[in-house]
Amino acid sequence: MKTIAVLGTLDSKGSEHAFVAELIRAHGHTPLLIDVGTGAEPTVKPDVTRYEVAAVGGIDLEAIIEKKDRGEAVIAMSQAAPKLLSKLQSEGKIHGVISLGGGGGTAIATAAMRALPIGFPKLMVSTLAAGNTAHYLGTSDITMMPSIADVAGLNRLSLTIFTRAAGAICGMVSADIPESGAKPLIVASMFGNTTACVTEAKRILEESGYEVLIFAATGTGGKSMEAVIESGMAVGVLDITTTEWADELCGGTLNAGPTRMDAAAKAGIPVVIAPGCLDMVNFGEGSSVPTKYEGRSFYIHNPQVTLMRTTPEECAELGRIIAGKANACAGRCEILIPKKAISVISAEGQPFHDPAADSALFGAIRAGSKVPVRTFAEEINSPVFAQACAERLLTLLG
C-alpha cells in the first residue's frame, strides 16, 4: 500500500479532490488530502490543513488571507507547498501526488511537483494542459492531463476524466521500475552537428561499464540535463555540445538560461567540456531573425530553423563564459578543443568556416581557464577526438 498526496484548493475544488481520494482508496492506496486553498473554509476535511502547509513554508497565512489579494495568496502557497511535498517525499511519507485545478490550482500544484525528484509520480489534471505548459513543467517530469471542461464539480465528463486520472496515478505508484544493471550514469549533450562524436564517445564509455544518457542541446534538453545532474543520478558529464550558450548570449531560441553548466560544479563530479556548436545561434524561420542581425552569415538548416554564425567578438565572450564555468569545477574538469571544426558546418569548405572566430573562441578559453585545456588538430566529429573526450572523462572518473 502506497500513500498518494491529493493536493488542491479544497475551498473551491473540495468535492473533486475528495472523489479522487476515494478512488485512490478503492485502488488499495492511502490518500493524503492536502489543502492549499486560501479562500473560504474547505468544503471537505483535509488531512493536512492550509495552515500546516503555510507553516512549513514559514508563511503567516492568516495575514495574507486578510488582505484578500488572490494573487499574493497563490504566490504564498506556491512557495509553501513545494517545501511541504519535498519534506514528505524525503521522509518517505508519500509515493505520488495528484492535483486537479484551473489557473491558480495548477500554478500551486505544479510548483510543488517541480520540487520532487525526477521519476517520482506526479499527475496534474488541468484546464491549461492543452496549451503551452512549459512554465508549469520546467524540467520536471510532471504528467499533464487535460480536464477538457472546467474543474467545477462532478458531472458525466469530469467523473470519467477524474476516474481515469486516479487510475493513472495509482498505476504509476504501483509500477515496478526494472533494474538497469545499476551501472553508474554519465550524462552527455548532443546536437545533430555533434552526433558522430557523442555516439562514438558513448560507445567507449559504455564498454567501460557506464550507462550514458544523452540530452539534445535544445534549451529544454540542457535544462533537463542540469536537473538530472542536480538530482544526484550522474557520476560524470560529457558536455560536448555547449551551443546553448551561443543562444543565451545572442538571444537565440534554444537557450538554456544563465545557470547552464552550473549543476556539475555544485555536484562536484568530473566533467569534460568541448566548445561544440558554439559557431551557431538558432532562430526560427528567416523572418524570425532580429533585424539587428541583418547582413550576418546565415545557414538555412530547414524551413523552420535558421542558423547564424557567431562573430569573433561573440566567440571571445563565449570563450570567457565557458572558461568561467569550467573553473567552478575546480580540478575535476578538462576542456578539449577540436581545432579544425567545432561543428559539421564549421569545417574547412563549409558555410560556417571562420578561422578568425574560432581563434577568438579558443584563445579566450585558454586565457581564462584554470583547468587543463587540451587542443587537438581534429574536427569535433573525428573518431580521434571522440576517443580523447571519452578517455579523459574515464581518467577523471578514476
* Cα–Cα dist 52/252, whole Å: 43
Tell me, yes or no, whether 165 and 209 share the same domain.
no
Contact predicate 105/99, CB 8 Å: yes
Tell me, yes or no, whether 125 and 270 share the same domain.
no
Contact predicate 283/289, CB 8 Å: yes
pTM of the model: 0.79
192-246, pLDDT tens digit by residue?
999 999 999 999 999 999 999 999 999 999 999 999 998 888 999 999 999 999 9
96-124, pLDDT tens digit by residue?
999 999 999 999 999 999 999 888 999 99
324-354 burial code (b ≥16 CB/10 A, e <16): ebbeebeebbbbbbbbbbbbbbbbeeebbbb
Tell me, yes or no, whether 127 and 191 share the same domain.
no
The domain boundary, picked from 113, 144, 174, lies at 174
48-93, pLDDT tens digit by residue?
999 999 999 999 998 988 888 888 989 999 999 999 999 999 999 9
Tell me, yes or no, whether 24 and 96 share the same domain.
yes
The domain boundary, picked from 174, 201, 220, lies at 174
Q: Which domain holds residue 373?
A: 185-397
Tell me, yes or no, whether 258 and 143 share the same domain.
no
What pLDDT band is residue 395 in, cutting at 50, 70 and 90?
A: very high
Q: What is each CA distance from 185 to 72, 181, 389, 397, in whole angstroms?
A: 41, 11, 16, 11
Q: What is each CA distance from 42 to 34, 160, 191, in whole angstroms?
A: 10, 24, 50
Tell me, yes or no, whether 115 and 224 share the same domain.
no
- Would strands 305-309 and 298-302 be described as parallel, antiparallel, or unpaired? antiparallel
With a pLDDT cut of 90, the percent of the chain lying above it is 86
Question: What is residue 19's predicted lDDT score, i.e. its pLDDT?
Answer: 97
Domain count for the chain, please give it.
2
Tell me, yes or no, whether 151 and 9 share the same domain.
yes
Tell me, yes or no, whether 267 and 308 share the same domain.
yes
Judged against a pLDDT cut of 90, whether residue 257 lies above it is answered with yes
Give domain status of residue 116, yes or no.
Answer: yes
Tell me, yes or no, whether 35 and 65 share the same domain.
yes
Tell me, yes or no, whether 242 and 169 share the same domain.
no
Tell me, yes or no, whether 129 and 167 share the same domain.
yes
What pLDDT band is residue 182 in, cutting at 50, 70 and 90?
A: confident
* Cα–Cα dist 284/302, whole Å: 9
- What average pLDDT does this structure show over 259-263? 96
What pLDDT band is residue 180 in, cutting at 50, 70 and 90?
A: low
CATH code, 336: 3.40.50.12030
